[in-house]
C-alpha cells in the first residue's frame, strides 16, 4: 500500500515581508516531504504567520486560532504552529501559550530557519514547543523556498528596521537593520532568472538604507545598477522606501536603469509637520513635496503610491486638513489608508490626547473618498493608451481572462491565451476601474 504523503497549509497575515517568509516556511516543509493540502481541514500541519502592525490583524488571528481548535478536536495528530511578528512580543507569546492549548508550536521572526527542527521535535516528542529568540542572529542564506508565482519573485535585501517611528512595532519584533551581502542577493536573482522568473521585487522595511551596516558599505542605488545588468531580468521593483533616505543618487539611478519600474511606494503617513515630528519620521512636508517634485522631474510617467495614517494622538482638525491638502498637491496614484491604533510597547501608545474612534472614522472616510476619486481619475486618463504588460497568468477573479501589471504597477485584465504568462505584451487600455484597468491585446513586445 502506498504511504500517504503528509500535507500542510500556511496562513499568512500582513505585509510582503510576511508573504515571503511564508514562502520560506512552505519551502522548508516541502524539504521535509510535505505537500500543500487541498483544504485547511485536510492539512496535517497548519502554520499561521502573524502580523502585529494593526490591532485588527491580531484580533483576526485570535479568532482563527479559536476556529482551528475545532479541527484539532477532530484530528488529534494535527499540528498547529504560529510564527511571525505577534509571537516575537513576549507577553503575546505567553498569552497564546496559555489561552490556546491547541497550538503545538510557537516560534518568532528571528528563528524562522529553525522550523524543521522544531516541527520534528513536536512530532517526535508529542509535546508543545515554544522557542522565540530575543535577538536576531546571523542572516541564514539559501533556505528552501516555495514561491507563489512562476513569473515574479520576492527577494529580501534587508531585515529589521532602525527608524523607530513612534507608532510602529516593527523594530521591536523584526530587530535592528541587517543587510544581506550584495553577492548573495545578486546570485539569488541570477538563479531566479535561470529558473524562468522575469520580475524581482526587492524587500526591506527601508530598502533605501541598504548596505550601510555591511563591512564594506554600499548603497541601494549601486545594488540596483548591478541588478539592471543581469541578462533576461525584465523588471525590477522594490518596497518600501523611507522618504528620509531617498537620495538624488537613487532618483538618478532609477531614471537611468531601463529595467527598474517607474513605481515608487513612498509612505508619507501625515501632512502636518507637527504630527510628522511626533511620529519621528525625520522629514517635514516641504521636504516630502520637494522629493516628489524631483522624482517626477527625473522619471517621466512615474506612479507614486503612499501610506497615510489618520487619528495619530493629538491630531487636530487643522492637522488633518494639512494631510488632505498634501493629498491634493501630490495626487497619489494610490494609497493605503488606515486609522491609528495603539501598539503596546511603542512610544505613541503612551501619548496623551488619543483621538476618539468616531473622529477617526469620520476622517478616514473623507480621506478614502477623495483618494479614490484621484486614483480613478489617474486610471481613466490611461484609457486609449497602449501599455506594456508583464503577463502573470490567469485573472484571480475571472479565469477566462489573463492578468498582468504595467510598469507603474497597475493591474490589467485582458483576454488572451495562457501561454502568454511570463511574456511582455502590449495592451490597449479600453476601460478603467478603481482597482484595475481593462484592455485588449495589441502586439507582443
* Binding-site residues from annotation: 15, 51, 85, 161, 165, 168
Q: Which residues are 432's β-sheet partners? A: 437
Annotated binding site for [4Fe-4S] cluster: 15, 51, 85, 161, 165, 168
All residues at 6 or more sequence positions from 405 whose CB lies less than 8 Å from its CB, including other chains: 389, 390, 392, 411, 412
Grid coordinates representing 336 are 493605503
Coil vs helix vs strand at 84: strand
All residues at 6 or more sequence positions from 190 whose CB lies less than 8 Å from its CB, including other chains: 230
The Cα 308–Cα 293 span in angstroms is 19
CA distances from 203 to 19, 172, 209, 308, 359 (A): 11, 18, 12, 20, 34
Helix (H) or strand (E) holding 243: none
Full strand arrangement of the beta sheet holding 152-156: 152-156, 199-203, 235-239
Contact of 257 with 224, CB cutoff 8 Å: yes
Amino acid at each position: 500500500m502506498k504511504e500517504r504523503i503528509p500535507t500542510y497549509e500556511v496562513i499568512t497575515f500582513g505585509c510582503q515581508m510576511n508573504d515571503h517568509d511564508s514562502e520560506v516556511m512552505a519551502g522548508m516543509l516541502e524539504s521535509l516531504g510535505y505537500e500543500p493540502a487541498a483544504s485547511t481541514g485536510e492539512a496535517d500541519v497548519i502554520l499561521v504567520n502573524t502580523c502585529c502592525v494593526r490591532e485588527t490583524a491580531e484580533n483576526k488571528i485570535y479568532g482563527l486560532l479559536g476556529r482551528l481548535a475545532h479541527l484539532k478536536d477532530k484530528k488529534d495528530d494535527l499540528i498547529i504552529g504560529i510564527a511571525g511578528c505577534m509571537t516575537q512580543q513576549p507577553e503575546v507569546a505567553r498569552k497564546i501559550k496559555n489561552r490556546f492549548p491547541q497550538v503545538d508550536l510557537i516560534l518568532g521572526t528571528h528563528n524562522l530557519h529553525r522550523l524543521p527542527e522544531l516541527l520534528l521535535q513536536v512530532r517526535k516528542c508529542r509535546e508543545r514547543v515554544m522557542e522565540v529568540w530575543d535577538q536576531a542572529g546571523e542572516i541564514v542564506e539559501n533556505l528552501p523556498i516555495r514561491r507563489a508565482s512562476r513569473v515574479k519573485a520576492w527577494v529580501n535585501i534587508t531585515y529589521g528596521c532602525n527608524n523607530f517611528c513612534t507608532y510602529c512595532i516593527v523594530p521591536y519584533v523584526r530587530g535592528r537593520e541587517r543587510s544581506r551581502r550584495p553577492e548573495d542577493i545578486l546570485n539569488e536573482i541570477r538563479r531566479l532568472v535561470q529558473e524562468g522568473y522575469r520580475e524581482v521585487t526587492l524587500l526591506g522595511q527601508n530598502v533605501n538604507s541598504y548596505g550601510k551596516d555591511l563591512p564594506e558599505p554600499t548603497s541601494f542605488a549601486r545594488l540596483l545598477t548591478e541588478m539592471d545588468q543581469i541578462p533576461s531580468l525584465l523588471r525590477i521593483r522594490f518596497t518600501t522606501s523611507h522618504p528620509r533616505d531617498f537620495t538624488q543618487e537613487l532618483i538618478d539611478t532609477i531614471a537611468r536603469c531601463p529595467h527598474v519600474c517607474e513605481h515608487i511606494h513612498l509612505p508619507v503617513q501625515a501632512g502636518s509637520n507637527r504630527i510628522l515630528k511626533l511620529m519621528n519620521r525625520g522629514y517635514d512636508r516641504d521636504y516630502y513635496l520637494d522629493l516628489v517634485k524631483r522624482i517626477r522631474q527625473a522619471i517621466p510617467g512615474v506612479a507614486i503610491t503612499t501610506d497615510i495614517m489618520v487619528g495619530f494622538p493629538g491630531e487636530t482638525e487643522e492637522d488633518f486638513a494639512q494631510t488632505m491638502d498634501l493629498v491634493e498637491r501630490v495626487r497619489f496614484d494610490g494609497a493605503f489608508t488606515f486609522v491609528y491604533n495603539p501598539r503596546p510597547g511603542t512610544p505613541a501608545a503612551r501619548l496623551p490626547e488619543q483621538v476618539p474612534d468616531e473622529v477617526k472614522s469620520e476622517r478616514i472616510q473623507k480621506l478614502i473618498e477623495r483618494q479614490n476619486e484621484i486614483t480613478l481619475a489617474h486610471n481613466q486618463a490611461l484609457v486609449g493608451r497602449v501599455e506594456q504588460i508583464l503577463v502573470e497568468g490567469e485573472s484571480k477573479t475571472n479565469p477566462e481572462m489573463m492578468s498582468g501589471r504595467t510598469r507603474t504597477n497597475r493591474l490589467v485584465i485582458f483576454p488572451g491565451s495562457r501561454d502568454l504568462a511570463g511574456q511582455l505584451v502590449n495592451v490597449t487600455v479600453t476601460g478603467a476601474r478603481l482597482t484595475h484597468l481593462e484592455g485588449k491585446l495589441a502586439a507582443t513586445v
